[in-house]
Structure 1
Amino acid sequence: MDPQVAWEEMLAAIVENDLFEAELRAEYLIDWLDKNGFPPQTVSRVLPKEWDQMICRYVCRKVMMAVQTPGG
């Protein structure tokens, strides 16, 4: 899966409150980044790769934490 597509699908799943699907995309993205894959563009402005990676990792971790939190 393309990391940009995964990022956009994760955000769409968050909007739809489908945390199961969001978590699947988050896990994929973290794994992709851990294997030195390029990060998705996380915002409409073009940022340096390091910033997109930090934003992506942060949001993915928050998604995974929300799934593990009761009521999250």
Structure 2
Amino acid sequence: MYDEVTRQQDHYWASLAYAQEEGRVEGLAIGIEEGRAEGREEAVITLMKNGYISAEVAAEQLKVNIEDLDKYL
């Protein structure tokens, strides 16, 4: 009886540790992707501000209307 309870408790703690690690991995992947997207946006805005690309090209790259481009500036 004691061994069964101990085994169940070990299984419970192992499942919690696994879920926690999976959450960390998923959170890290989401954070990396969001960081990349933010970096791309900043790069496009910088190129536009420096005159290397037009507002139309910047809007196309950011997938927004030219009117909505102001929120990035």
Structure number with greater Rg is 2
TM-score by length of 1: 0.32
> Which fold has the larger relative contact order, with Cα–Cα distance below 8 Å and residues 6 or more apart in sequence?
1
- How high is the TM-score relative to the length of structure 2? 0.31
